[in-house]
Amino acid sequence: MRNSVSVRHAPSSSLLQSMLGLFGELRGHVRARVDESAQREQIRRITTEIAACAQDSGRRFEHLSTALDPISHHAEKLVAQCETLLNQASGHEEGQTLFQSAVSVLGSPLACVDRYLAQKGDQLSQLEQAEERIRELFKLQHDMRSALQPLTYMVVLFRIESAGLDAEQQGTFVTVAAEIQRLRELVDRTFEENIGLIEQARTTVSTVRGNLSNDYESHGRFVAAKRGNIDHAIARLDEQLATNEKHDLQLREIGRSLQAEIGQLVLSLQTQDILQQRCDHIREALLAPGEVRLGPLAGLQSIQLRETAKELRDSTGRLRTALQRIQTLATDLNESSVRLPQFKSTTAAADGMVQLLLDTFQEITEIIDSSSRLSDDSHTRVAPVMSLARNLTSQTSEISLNIRMIALNAQVRSVQIGTGSGLEVLAARTAEISRQLSELGENTNGEISAFQASVGAFLSVLEEFRTASHAESEKLGTAGATIEQRLHALRDTTLTTLQAIAVSVQEVNQLVASGAIDFDGIERTADELDGLAGRLETIAADNPARAKDIKRLAAHATRYSMAAERHVHALATGHSVGESRVTQSGPELFVDAPVEELSVAAPEVSPSPRVAPLAPPSATSTPSRTAAVPAALDDNVELF
């Protein structure tokens, strides 16, 4: 439609006709003024409704923000919990040092038991040797008794030989016979005692040796198995820590994604500020007095309004997506954390590292205690055997001394009586028995010394282990208890984190399902903005833009403060505004406008098919729509 007025130069006779024409033109101007006034009123109402929409949207966003805040909060907690789990699983925090400390504390008692077990061969050998010595002593006791056997008939012979002598000589023989008799009784008595004691010692040593042999065997098996488990677990732990990054990928990915979605939530919630500003700018532009004619102004702002509505919908879409993603990720995290393979070994699992160490602490404590008890018991039982040996030595010495005295006395008496009495023969025989007994006594003492050496060596090792095991038991009771507490605390932290994850996930799901999050209201606001844009487009259609409107719109565009607004403006008008540069195609306001006719720099747009008179952008259009290079602009151009 052209606004130009054509004046036809009529002949003077047709002055009236000319006046009528002028009148018609005047009437047209008046009508136009009346129409413009009505449109201005219409625009005023539209701006009021835009303000109401912006206000309404503000309230809805505020409500949405309130509803999303706890979800965002729980999601952030989930990210933190996720990180905690990773640190626990990898041992970056307490785990690694704790496991090493635990192994260090366990190492000492295990080494103690190892040393004890390493000496088992020597210990059992010492007891075997002691048993062998006991057998020899037993035999020597019998030999001693056999050696003294002739003394029985020696007493009879002494009495027979002395029967024909005078009373004094007979008294001498009777005295020697009585001494021999006393020695016999002593030997018989001590023999019974010694045999009993030796038998008892043999039983004690044999029992202790059997118990220790079984104990060494069972403890050896247990310690070897336990040590194998610990070594394997430590190796597995080292391996896990070494390949930590690979194992953690899934959980880390979930954590990162959650953070990204939280960012999306926060970002999308900021749309309200942008919406408010854009609506304010649109309203200010529409209400600005006389800068630009209403038609082009309404056309341009309708595009801004549609873009604002579109941004609102996009924002809602992003919020919906972020919320769904958070829900999905939270569920994934919950399931993944329970299934995570690294937790099996490192933290809480029944067959995991913590449990293994706790079990080992308990079992090592039991080993140390039971070994300690056994060594105490062995010591208590074997120690008296040493005093038995001492008794045997003194008794043997006493018998040997006695027989030597008797023999000497008999020899002295026989010399006093003189040869031929027969007493010298008996004295010689007694001396021979004395020598035999002396020899047996020396052998007995040798065996007893060997026995004492074996038992002493055995008791010495036992004593050493008793001292060490008591010290280890004490250490386990202090350092071990602290480590156990820390192991429990580590597992409690993991369990608490997992419970917290489950609770957070539950909270997120409940919040999402509660219906407190209302996206529909915001989408209705977008629809209302689209409706208002449609009304602006109708006004624009009634008042097409002219070339001179471009310059005015260019000046008008300086009011924009946001890059998005400038972008839309540039795409719609072909003007770049301020620092904003058009870098992609978009909606087109003017067509066929030559660049040189524009008083502003042409935007940097990529060539694309022309879109002649552009329809208002659809709600689903994007800023990257195809734009046309501003082409020839006639004096009177249909803008829309």
Give the interface with other proteins as residue ranges (CB under 8 A).
337-338, 343-344, 348-352, 354-355, 358-359, 487-492, 495, 498-499, 502
The sign one gets for the Cα dihedral 457, 460, 466, 472 is negative
Give me the least distance between CB of 352 and other proteins, in Å please: 8
Contact 602, 523 (CB under 8 A): no
Contact 517, 64 (CB under 8 A): yes
Whose Cβ is closer to other proteins: residue 490's or residue 557's? 490
Nearest one of 560, 61, 608, 59 to 303, comparing CA atoms: 560
| Cβ-based neighbour number of residue 98 at 10 Å | 19
Nearest one of 529, 531, 535, 569 to 552, comparing CA atoms: 569
Give me the least distance between CB of 568 and other proteins, in Å please: 52
Give me the least distance between CB of 490 and other proteins, in Å please: 8
Whose Cβ is closer to other proteins: residue 116's or residue 361's? 361
Give me the least distance between CB of 504 and other proteins, in Å please: 13
Say which residues have a Cβ less than 8 Å from residue 374's Cβ, sequence separation at least 6: 211, 212, 215
Nearest one of 197, 110, 117, 250 to 390, comparing CA atoms: 197
Whose Cβ is closer to other proteins: residue 348's or residue 553's? 348
Give me the least distance between CB of 492 and other proteins, in Å please: 5
The DSSP element (H or E) to which 233 belongs, if any, is helix 167-242
Angle between helices 271-287 and 563-573 (to 10 degrees): 50
Give me the least distance between CB of 494 and other proteins, in Å please: 8
The residue to which tokens 């079984």 are assigned: 214
**257, burial (CB in 10 Å: exposed 0-12, middle 13-18, buried 19+):** middle
Residue 156 tokens, joined: 């009879």
Whose Cβ is closer to other proteins: residue 492's or residue 635's? 492
Give me the least distance between CB of 619 and other proteins, in Å please: 44
Q: Angle CA(463)–CA(466)–CA(470) in degrees, nearest 5? A: 150
Whose Cβ is closer to other proteins: residue 363's or residue 464's? 363
Give me the least distance between CB of 501 and other proteins, in Å please: 10
How far apart, in whole angstroms, are the C-alpha atoms of residue 414 and residue 587? 153
Whose Cβ is closer to other proteins: residue 42's or residue 336's? 336
3-class secondary structure, 587: coil
Whose Cβ is closer to other proteins: residue 349's or residue 401's? 349
Give me the least distance between CB of 221 and other proteins, in Å please: 16
The DSSP element (H or E) to which 337 belongs, if any, is helix 294-339
Whose Cβ is closer to other proteins: residue 84's or residue 126's? 84
Q: List % helix, strand, coil for the chain (3-state, nearest 5).
A: 80, 0, 20
Give me the least distance between CB of 231 and other proteins, in Å please: 21
Whose Cβ is closer to other proteins: residue 503's or residue 541's? 503
Contact 241, 91 (CB under 8 A): yes
Say which residues have a Cβ less than 8 Å from residue 252's Cβ, sequence separation at least 6: 82, 86
Whose Cβ is closer to other proteins: residue 235's or residue 495's? 495
* DSSP string covering 54-83: HHHHHHHHHHHHHHHHHHHHHHHHHHHHHH
The residue to which tokens 């004690």 are assigned: 204
Whose Cβ is closer to other proteins: residue 359's or residue 464's? 359
Strand partners, 546: 636
Give me the least distance between CB of 128 and other proteins, in Å please: 35
